[in-house]
Amino acid sequence: MTPPPLDPFNNFGPDQNVKVLPRHLAGPGERDLASIWPFPFEDGWHLHPADEGLAFSSSPCARLWTRLVLEPGTRGQGTWTIGANRIPFGPKAWEITFDVATPAELVRDVHAELLDVYLEDRYRDRDRLFDDDTAPHTAYAPLFARGWSHEVQMAGTQTFRSPDGLGAVQHRFAPGRSRGPDDAPWTAWAGDWANPHWKARFTRGAPATLVAAFTASLISTEPLHRAVKDVPLDFRHSLYMAAATAHQPAAVPPSAGPAPGRTR
């Protein structure tokens, strides 16, 4: 019987900091609310008291909210959720969810874009949070530049897969029977579709601008910093890795330039 390959991280201690790519395989990283929720709490944003394992924030207009629920015993370890209501405390207009196992930098970049759109709506008398005219291809076209494959299904769904086959973004461009608030035309995951390491969902009505912020962060060639003990065992042989020191250069795949989208 062929012995299993050696862990490529064996030469590093569990607390050693490393830089890794691709991002979808890096593991969740630091769950730092101050970084992931970049909201101006001194300017009317609310951070609501919550029980252990729960955090909640809302916008001054009470139409926008975001929540963290920790569930350590579950596959995704809990959920980050962004929700929007057209009127304060009214019915949900759209929702975005990320497993807590999703790399934190991806979640942070969507929240940063969310704040940008909110402020643009507020100061320019627009309503892109609910009537965004961004074309869907803005979210998926950059994937081609990073070598992601493209498959179109007869049911009106297109799936984009990372070069390593371990990441995917799916876009359902032909609406099915479900047109309710939980209908999700955009889904992304890492690992196996039936049992993903992490999963993200953007329901119908979620601004394509936020989907584009997510995909831009997903394919960014800026390595993510992780402690070795936090790098998922299942993906270690698929990662490009270098010690995060000044004396050892990062071993990253060839880059075609910075990923599309804003630099955070």
Residue 232 in any domain: the answer is yes
Is 230 within the bounds of a domain? yes
H or E stretch at 96: strand 92-99
Position 59 scores a pLDDT of: 95
Range of the structural domain that residue 86 is part of? 17-243
Residue 183: the pLDDT is 82
Kindly state whether residue 187 falls inside one of the protein's structural domains. yes
Q: Indicate whether 227 belongs to any domain.
A: yes
**Which are the contacts of 94, defined by CB distance < 8 A and separation ≥ 6?**
83, 84, 130, 181, 202, 203, 204, 205, 206, 207
For the chain, the domain total comes to 1
Task: Kindly state the average pLDDT of the residues 139-143.
Answer: 96
Q: Considering the domain boundaries, does residue 248 fall inside one?
A: no
250 pLDDT band, cuts 50/70/90, is very low
Q: What is the pLDDT of residues 158-182, one digit of tens each?
A: 999 999 999 999 999 886 555 555 6
Cβ within 8 Å of residue 168, ≥6 positions away: 159, 160, 161, 162, 188, 189, 190, 193
Instruction: Note the pLDDT of residue 118.
Output: 94
Q: Please give, one letter per residue, the 3-state secondary structure of 240-263.
A: EEEECCCCCCCCCCCCCCCCCCCC
pLDDT of res. 249: 40
Q: Tell me the whole-structure pTM to 2 decimals.
A: 0.88
Closest CA to 252 of 26, 35, 36, 101: 26
Domain assignment present for 206? yes
Supply the pLDDT for residue 69.
96
253 part of a folded domain: no
